[in-house]
A and B are shown apart, each in its own frame.
Chain A
C-alpha cells in the first residue's frame, strides 16, 4: 500500500508531475483541444483514479504520458516530469528506454498490447530483452513467473498460444503481465475492465490491486466508472472537457464534492438507497472539444453559474492543501454528497 511503502517515506517528491499539459489534434474542422491544461501528480506507490466521461480527454492524458499520441495529435504545451526527467520533447530513444520499463500501460482492449500473429512467448521475451540483455531461456522463465503471478494456470502451455486462442479475460491478464514484466514504477491503466463482465472485472481489479500493492507500483486508473475508483483509489481526479476540475482524497471528493460537475456525476450513479426513484440528472450533454464555450466549460449545464464563469477558473487549492477545484463558485466543503 502506498502509505506503507518505504520509498514513499524516503522520497516525498511525486513520481509523476504534469503541469499545464496540452495535447491538441489538428483536424480539417479545426483544432480539437482534447487535453487543454491538465495538472496532475502521482506519488510513489500511489493509486490515482482519473475519472471522466467520453471525450473528456482522460485517455489522451494517459497516451500523452506514454508518448503514444500520433498525428494529427501533438503536444501543444505543458510539461510531464517523471522522476525529475522531462518527457515532453524527449528524444525518441530515451523515451523508448523508459516506456515499458519504468512506465507501462494496459489498455481497454488487450489486443492493443498483443500482436495477433505472434505467440505469447515471442512477445513477452521481446518485451524483456528490449530493456535487458539477458539470455532467451532466462527471459522465458521470467515470462512463466509473470503469467503465474497473474493467475494463469498451465503457464508454459499458454505461452505457446496465439492471442486468438485465449479468452478475453485471459488476454487482459496477459496484457497486465506484460506491462508488469519489467517492474515499472508507474502503471497506467486505461479502462482495462470496461469491456468485461462484473465477475471478470472483479478478478482483474483484485489482480492489479494486489500486484501494485505488493510491488509499490504507482497506478493511474483511467475510467468513467466512479464506483470502481471508490473501491480502488487513494486519490481521485475528475476531468471535464480536457481539464481537471477537481482532485483530492477519494473519501473527501466522493463524500463532499466541491465542483458542481463532480456532484452531478456522483448523483447520477444508481445506488441501493435510491432504487425506484428518479435520478438527479445533469442537464444537457458534455460539449465536444470542438464547441467549447469560453470560460468554464461546465457553465451551460451548471446551476451555480454566474457571468463571472465566462472567465476560466484556475485549479486552486481548496478546503485544505490536499484538495483542488477549478470553480468560481465551489460547493461548501463539508456539504453532504447528493
Chain B
C-alpha cells in the first residue's frame, strides 16, 4: 500500500509535491540460505534468517522531512541504508522521480544515486582520520567530475561556510575538531555532490543537548536554503517532532504507523506509538511516577505470529495473535496497522 506524501512547507501546502523517492515492497533478509550440499543431504533446516525489513513501502516528497522512529533492532538503520543505496535490498524497488533506480544505467544511474546522500551517526567513524577535512569534502565531487580539482578547494571552503564552520578548519584533521564540528563536516561532505535527499541516520544521537540544538538548527536552515528532503532517523521522538513533516514508526521490521507529525502526536493510532509517546521524557512533567511499558522488543529471529506487537499490547485480542494487521487509512494521510481500527 502506498503512503501518500504531504508536506509542511507553507508554499507547497495544498498542492501535491512530486514524490522524489518511492520505496516499494522493501524486504531485507540477513543470514545466508543453507548451502547446496546441506540441501542435497537433506540437512537444510528451516531458513534461518533475520527479516530485518519486512515489506516496507515509504514515499518521500520533494522538500519533505520524513521522520523514522523505532527501537533498536527495528530495522530503521537497515531501511536507511537501502534508501541511500548503500545496501541492495533482498526484494523491492527504489524509484527516483518515478523511475526504478536499479534499471537505470550509466550517467542516469549515477545522477540518481548522487542525489541521495547519507549522513552517519558516528561522525568520528565516518571521517578518514588521516585525511584533511578539505580533501574529504572535495573527494566525491572531483571523482564524479562535478568540479575541477583545481577549484575544489574553493568548493570545500564554501561548504564549510555553509555548515557554519570557519573555512580555515579545512586544513585540520578530524581528531583536531570537536564532536559538533565533526558532525558539521559529515553534513558538509554529504552536501558536496549537491543532493536533493539526505538520509540521516541518528545524526544527533551522540551529541550533547546544546550541540544537538545547533545541529538541528543547521538541518532546518539547509532545508530552507536548498529545498532539501530528509529521511531523518532517530530514536528520539522529541527530535522528530521538532523537525519532521511526517512520521513513520517501525516495529520489528515493519511500518506500523505513518501520519503527518501533528496528527501522529495528537492522535496516535497504533498502541505501540502510544507507548513510545508516553515514554518521551518531558521537561514539563515534574516528579512523575514512571510506569514503564511492558516487555522488551522480541528477537527479530523469532518474531511473534499475528501482529508482532501483540505480546506487549495492552489491547491485544485473539485475532491479534493469529492475523497480521495490514496498514490501512484511519484518517486522511494517516495509516496504521492495527486490528483495533476495524471496529471503528
Contact call B180/A285, Cβ cutoff below 8 A? yes
Q: Are A227 and B71 in contact, CB atoms less than 8 angstroms apart? A: no
Q: Specify which chain B residues have a CB less than 8 angstroms from the CB of A226 in the assembled complex.
A: 209, 283
Complex partner residue of B283 from A230, A232, A286, CB under 8 angstroms = A230
B293 within 8 A of A: yes
List of A residues within 8 angstroms of B220 by Cβ = 278
Neighbouring B residues of A97 by C-beta, 8 Å? none
Q: Which of A6-14, A77-85, A155-163, A203-211 contacts B (4 or more CB under 8 A)?
A: A203-211
Given A206-B290, A251-B286, A274-B242, A198-B296 contact (CB < 8 Å)? no
Contact B281 A268 (CB under 8 A): no
Chain A min CB distance to B262 (Å): 8
Q: How far is the CA of A275 from the CA of B266 in the complex (A)?
A: 13
Flag whether B280 is at the interface (Cβ < 8 A): yes
Contacts of A280 in B (CB 8 A): 213
The smallest C-beta distance from B63 to any residue of chain A, in angstroms, reads: 14
**CB <8 Å contact, A201 and B279:** yes
Contact of B325 with A by CB under 8 A: no
- Range of interface residues on chain A? 35 or more
Among the listed A205, A264, A282, which residue makes an inter-chain contact with B290, where contact means beta carbons less than 8 Å apart?
A205
Q: A200-B296, A269-B209, A274-B242 are in contact. Are A281 and B72 (CB under 8 A)?
A: no
Residues of B within 8 A of A286 (CB): 208, 210
- Add 4 more A-B contacts to A199-B279, A264-B210, A272-B241 (CB < 8 A): A231-B288, A266-B283, A268-B213, A269-B283
State the CA gap A285–B213 with chains docked (Å): 12
- The answer to whether residues A199 and B275 also contact, given A231-B282, A231-B288, A271-B283 and a CB cut-off of 8 A, is yes
Instruction: Give Cα A279 to B290, complex, Å.
Output: 28
Residues of A within 8 Å of B222, CB to CB, are: none
Q: Is A95 an interface residue (CB 8 A)?
A: no
- Asked if B290 and A167 sit within 8 Å, CB to CB, the answer is no
Q: CB < 8 Å: which of A200, A225, A278, A285 contacts B281?
A: A225
- Please, how many angstroms separate the alpha-carbon atoms of A228 and B242 in the complex? 18
Q: Let me know if A245 is at the binding interface, CB within 8 A.
A: no
Q: Quote the shortest CB–CB distance from A231 to chain B (angstroms).
A: 4
> Does A250 have its Cβ within 8 Å of any Cβ on chain B?
yes
- 11 A-B pairs (CB sep. < 8 Å): A197-B297, A198-B235, A199-B71, A207-B292, A226-B283, A230-B284, A231-B281, A232-B290, A250-B286, A268-B212, A275-B261
How far, in Å, is B66 (CB) from chain A's closest CB?
15
Bound: A265/B72 CA distance, A: 27
A191 at the A/B interface (Cβ < 8 Å)?
Answer: no
- Cβ < 8 Å to B, chain A residues 211-261: 224-228, 230-234, 250-251, 254
Residue interface bits A24-42, CB-to-B below 8 A is 1, else 0: 0000000000000000000
Q: Mark B45-82, 1 if CB is under 8 A from A, else 0.
A: 00000000000000000000000000110000000000
A276 CB–B CB distance under 8 Å = yes
Can you list, as one digit per residue, whether each of A56-87 has a CB less than 8 Å from chain B (1) or not (0)?
00000000000000000000000000000000
User: In the assembled complex, how far is the CB of residue A153 from the closest CB belonging to chain B, in whole angstroms?
Assistant: 11
Q: What is the CA–CA distance of A274 and B293 in the complex, to the nearest angstrom?
A: 27
Whether B211 pairs with A197 at a CB distance below 8 angstroms is no
B211 CB contact (under 8 Å) in A201, A269, A285:
A285
In the complex, which residue of chain A has the Cβ closest to the Cβ of B278?
A202
Which chain B residue has the least Cβ–Cβ distance from A193?
B281
With A202-B279, A271-B284 as given contacts, are A197 and B72 in contact (CB-CB < 8 Å)? yes
Q: How far is the CB of A8 from chain B (nearest CB, A)?
A: 16
- Known contacts A202-B279, A225-B281; A270/B297 CB under 8 A: no
Q: Does A54 contact B (CB under 8 A)?
A: yes
**Of B211, B238, B284, B293, which contacts A202 at CB under 8 A?**
B293
A326 to B36, CA, bound (A): 71
Chain A nearest CB, measured from B313 CB (Å): 13
Which residue of B is nearest A52, CB measured? Answer: B208
B282 touches A227 (CB 8 A): yes
Binary A-proximity of B216-253 (CB < 8 A = 1, otherwise 0)? 11001000000000000001111101110000000000
Tell yes or no: A53 within 8 A of B by CB: yes
Report chain B residues within 8 Å CB of A266.
Answer: 283
